[in-house]
Structure 1
Amino acid sequence: MSLFEDTYRTIGKSYEGLFRDKGSKFIAYAFPFEDEVQLKDIIAELKLLHPKARHHCYAYRLSPDRSVFRINDDGEPSGTAGRPILNVLLSLDVTNILVVVVRYFGGTLLGVSGLINAYKTATQLALEEAEILEKTTDDIYEVQFPYLQMNDIMRIIKEENATIQEQQFDNNCVIRIAIRKMQVNAVIGRLEKVGQTNLRYLKTI
């Protein structure tokens, strides 16, 4: 993701794809995926669903800038499973996605090129079914201000199309807002001009 890019492509729900070759069956599952702690539970669920499958290979990409990734061949020859799955994610330029391909061995060895093609094709079939969503990269800020400044703050938030995630109104008000990355400087600049307003950066999503 370049300095001036604040969008990324992902999926909003799970999808499946099925590929068969010489008796072997490759079932690809594509999941929305935002945290590596999800991985263990997802793999465990698929192993319960497919207890007789020989392999559960996967690849994922994480973060809006697509910088985090991991592959796993789960016993297949090195480079024949996880890497072809990841290459599909790279070619589609998608992120925050985990693809697990479950393989049932059909008794006939497919060879390196056959395995690469099977894992790639199963992944492609799953993502061909997917609705690819374009999302913005947002910075989350906490805004604290006196109740008397409410109208000014809310007007800026509305005019700048920031999204309110949480709000707490009292004599001292606290709002948590999501601001699109490319608009952060403009929005923060306007909010800081409102008297007695405190801003705190929390995270990027």
Structure 2
Amino acid sequence: MPVAPGPQQYTTIAAAVDAELEIKRSRFLCHLAPAGSEDEARAVIAAVAQAHPKARHHCTAFVLGPDAATQRSNDDGEPSGTAGRPMLEVLLGEGLTDVVAVVTRYFGGVLLGAGGLVRAYGAAVSAAAAEARRVRYALRQEFTVELDYRWGPAFEAECHAAGWTVVETEYGERVTVRFAVPPEQEKRARERLADLSSGAARPVAGETRYVRVTS
């Protein structure tokens, strides 16, 4: 389905990462993972809780959607506002979305106080975010075009040179290229195909959707 109007791009993380801090004998283990929906985020939270059944707290925060419209946090038994909210603020401050953070705490016997907890939970998420590889998704218009073999490689090279995304290439009797361009560059893409194929190529428009543009 075509996406509704929204941000032109957003940033998330490529893969899950872990970080651990020890503060006054308490261990804070942060698991930071990509999540494309609330169900995915809650599945990550459940998996972490299952992996650490003896931990006292599994505090959480997640941000979802290109516009970061869905924001959730949970203190999981810590004093209100000392865990989930600081974690959420770190995710927002890092400019991340479609991401979930779970900080598992093993209590070390020393009370940290409200301020200490805020700093500890935020620092755990910051440590994980520092290790994560960022990826960017941008709004793109997809097209599919069939080309003769003599034109296929040349057009793929053109896409890479222009910063367009080659989503998929299939080789059969002809070369079928599915590619994505910024919506404002649609005219340029059509003109380049026409020039390359002497007017024979007929790109078919597909969805406008978010496409990964950095690896």
TM-score by length of 2: 0.71
What corresponds to 2:84 in structure 1?
Answer: 82
C-alpha separation between the residues in 1 aligned to 2:163 and 2:174? 23
The answer to whether the 8 A contact 2:19-2:128 is kept is: yes
**Aligned partner of residue 106 in structure 1, secondary structure:** coil
Q: What is the letter of the counterpart of residue 103 of structure 1?
A: R
Please say which of residues 12-21 and 85-94 is displaced more in the overlay: 12-21
C-alpha separation between the residues in 1 aligned to 2:142 and 2:35? 23
C-alpha separation between the residues in 1 aligned to 2:115 and 2:208? 47
**Residue 137 of structure 1 pairs with residue 138 of structure 2:** yes
Q: What is the letter of the counterpart of residue 210 of structure 2?
A: T
**Aligned partner of residue 78 in structure 1, secondary structure:** coil
What corresponds to 2:184 in structure 1?
Answer: 185
C-alpha separation between the residues in 2 aligned to 1:173 and 1:20? 56
Change (3 A) 1:169 1:118: same
**Residue 24 of structure 1 pairs with residue 26 of structure 2:** yes
Change (3 A) 1:96 1:150: farther
Q: Residue 41 of structure 1: CA displacement?
A: 2.8
The number of residues matched between the two structures is: 196
C-alpha separation between the residues in 2 aligned to 1:47 and 1:199? 45
What runs of 5+ residues in structure 1 fail to find an aligned partner? none
What corresponds to 1:68 in structure 2?
Answer: 70
Deviations 1:44-103 (A, max 9, x none): 321222110122111122344444322122232322211101111222223333211001
Q: Residue 140 of structure 1: CA displacement?
A: 4.9
The share of aligned pairs that are identical, in percent, is: 32
TM-score by length of 1: 0.74
Please say which of residues 76-85 and 166-175 is displaced more in the overlay: 166-175
C-alpha separation between the residues in 1 aligned to 2:150 and 2:118? 58
What corresponds to 1:122 in structure 2?
Answer: 124
C-alpha separation between the residues in 2 aligned to 1:159 and 1:90? 33
Q: What is the letter of the counterpart of residue 198 of structure 1?
A: V
C-alpha separation between the residues in 2 aligned to 1:174 and 1:199? 13
